[in-house]
Structure 1
């Protein structure tokens, strides 16, 4: 009988607890140790996995000899320093939450880190593992005949409150187009199959957070953005982000078009936010619309309710961990590389520069 894979988790706020609930659904895996400096969040994590040890420091967790892998879910600006500590002290297989970094100066550190880290690293781009998006990716080339235009629209709720309000400030989060949108830039590269060459954006803080002030410092995160991206193979991508549209039926809407036709994926937001008076939450859909013969074909992509209830990302966190466990057990390879994570952040940072300066940026 195969022994359980034991996770050490660094950071157990809202997203860390989602990871824990999904790990609890996996066969042959469990959380063995947690480092979470906030007492309230640590106790909440302990309630999810009572047998996990609470560690008083990152170093204490890394010095344990019973861990098989690590999961980093700390605030964004802490990722690079913690990666450096992990590499020096106990470089186990690592699932690293996005974004990898927030400061452009850290890109060089991560490129060097990529060459020296001795164990597999998987960057946690959960959106890849939403079942409707997986179906979309599997079918996109056949449906389109080669993507020429890709549009990603996210109409959603505002940023949630986090411990210490760290996500209210660009210096901590990297900015909205990094913190929120690196997922979408990663999807663009994956779906189009090429790297970006030019990016242009218009974005700002229009509705949310206008009057938010923390210890005398005004929140500077954005809630509105359009981003256009040219890719090396001639395809074009566009992102539309609105973070004051929580009344929408679907939270993410992705469409790709090519000479043969169009394919769309429609993904609802977290079920816990769906108004109960409207009945059951909507189910994800994938729609294929060929040019010839005309006639959209719609398929619903349901997710197991137990998996759906374990998080806010349409089941993707669970399916990501299934694949990551294969890496830890030595039967698989990381599907989202450190370079994928670097490129997604770089796209977000350049998009923010473009919006701030009012001009296109090249890679």
Structure 2
């Protein structure tokens, strides 16, 4: 046990338990979950049942501060409701004992809070913080990233991402039904896609224009006398510093889709596409035309558990563990700046819908209208 990396999970709802299962499948890498913290007793019990089936004894806390003060953990995973991330992260970063952190997306619900976390973390070089933007690791997406970075498509000009899927799942106390808790659909869900667009474009965003609405989902739901205000569909256009453009097509009442995500990247030489969950990548060049398009099956033999995100959470943990073991010699694969900018794009898109105009990233980053 001397070299075991000991994990604590703060928030053991659906994603917290998903992290627990992923870490169990990494047990041969010298990891163990030793504690959890969650005020919700049913979630605690479900996590305990899982841990018992893995023969992992857990210390259970109601509050995250108790877990931090226990000194049991080297690493903490934050998988609590979005609106709690800021305070929990600040408590971890400011704690006398250093804890490495994997925080679920979005980093925080506002740009202001994200920036405060980034500033606080700069003062703690003994702590690694990785943001859970794990879509980068889905095998077809990772393969497309490799193709783009290899220059096969030339200079990227356009990135289009379509997510057509089911509505938001039910969460504890229905916290995800309201913008004030989630940051809004385009922050909560779509920070994944804005992160990928920035990665493909290899540039930072400049301005955002969006159109969206609540057209189908949650309109007949009422919680504490309030009707949900989260949008269920949108188009978002992002312009990047290098002239590249990105477009998101989101629909959350499209259960009749073959693929949940379809990603298209077009450069001045060729085009690449990734399809999830089909796990297929298509690749073609302008010169070879339609007849020259290749279809590749994307797989990653390292994945021991597919889980809820097609093995990407497993690979995320593998990469983060590698950074932890490098003891300062390796940065987290997805850092706080990545988390901040993915939220900033989402916030800009939410404001654009509300105000029916382009919104610059600068005005959002300068904290105007960012709350």
1:25-44 alignment to 2 at 5 Å?
Answer: 25-26=25-26, 27=28, 28-44=30-46
For residue 234 of structure 2, the aligned residue among 225, 231, 240 is 225
How much does 1:58 deviate?
1.3
Q: Give the paired residue count.
A: 348
- Distance in 1 (CA, whole Å) between partners of 2:115 and 2:325 is 30
Asked if residue 258 in structure 1 is aligned to residue 267 in structure 2, the reply is: yes
3-state DSSP of counterpart to 1:149: strand
Give the structure 2 partner of residue 356 of structure 1. Answer: 354
- Distance in 2 (CA, whole Å) between partners of 1:171 and 1:56 is 24
Judged with a 3 Å threshold, the aligned counterparts in structure 2 of structure 1 residues 36 and 299 are, in CA distance, closer, same or farther, namely same
For residue 323 of structure 2, the aligned residue among 324, 327, 335 is 327
- Distance in 2 (CA, whole Å) between partners of 1:61 and 1:156 is 36
Q: Do the aligned residues in 1 keep the contact of 2:22 with 2:305 (CA within 8 Å)?
A: no
Asked if residue 116 in structure 1 is aligned to residue 123 in structure 2, the reply is: yes
Q: Do the aligned residues in 2 keep the contact of 1:143 with 1:263 (CA within 8 Å)?
A: no
For residues 180-212 of structure 1, what are the alpha-carbon distances to aligned partners after superposition, in whole Å with 9 as ceiling and x for unaligned? 000111111111110011100001111101111
1:272-287 alignment to 2 at 5 Å?
Answer: 283-287=278-282
Judged with a 3 Å threshold, the aligned counterparts in structure 2 of structure 1 residues 332 and 107 are, in CA distance, closer, same or farther, namely closer
Give the structure 1 partner of residue 100 of structure 2. Answer: 93
Give the structure 1 partner of residue 257 of structure 2. Answer: 248
Asked if residue 312 in structure 1 is aligned to residue 308 in structure 2, the reply is: yes
TM-score (norm 1): 0.92
Asked if residue 83 in structure 1 is aligned to residue 85 in structure 2, the reply is: no
How much does 1:307 deviate?
3.8
Judged with a 3 Å threshold, the aligned counterparts in structure 2 of structure 1 residues 144 and 190 are, in CA distance, closer, same or farther, namely same
Give the structure 2 partner of residue 343 of structure 1. Answer: 341
- Distance in 2 (CA, whole Å) between partners of 1:209 and 1:39 is 26
How much does 1:304 deviate?
6.3
Q: Do the aligned residues in 1 keep the contact of 2:164 with 2:257 (CA within 8 Å)?
A: yes
For residue 166 of structure 2, the aligned residue among 157, 161, 165 is 157
For residue 194 of structure 2, the aligned residue among 185, 209, 212 is 185
1:193-232 alignment to 2 at 5 Å?
Answer: 193-232=202-241
User: Which runs of no fewer than 5 residues in structure 2 stay unpaired?
Assistant: 362-371
Give the structure 1 partner of residue 138 of structure 2. Answer: 130
User: Which runs of no fewer than 5 residues in structure 1 stay unpaired?
Assistant: 269-282
Give the structure 2 partner of residue 23 of structure 1. Answer: 23
Asked if residue 139 in structure 1 is aligned to residue 150 in structure 2, the reply is: no
TM-score (norm 2): 0.90
Asked if residue 10 in structure 1 is aligned to residue 10 in structure 2, the reply is: yes
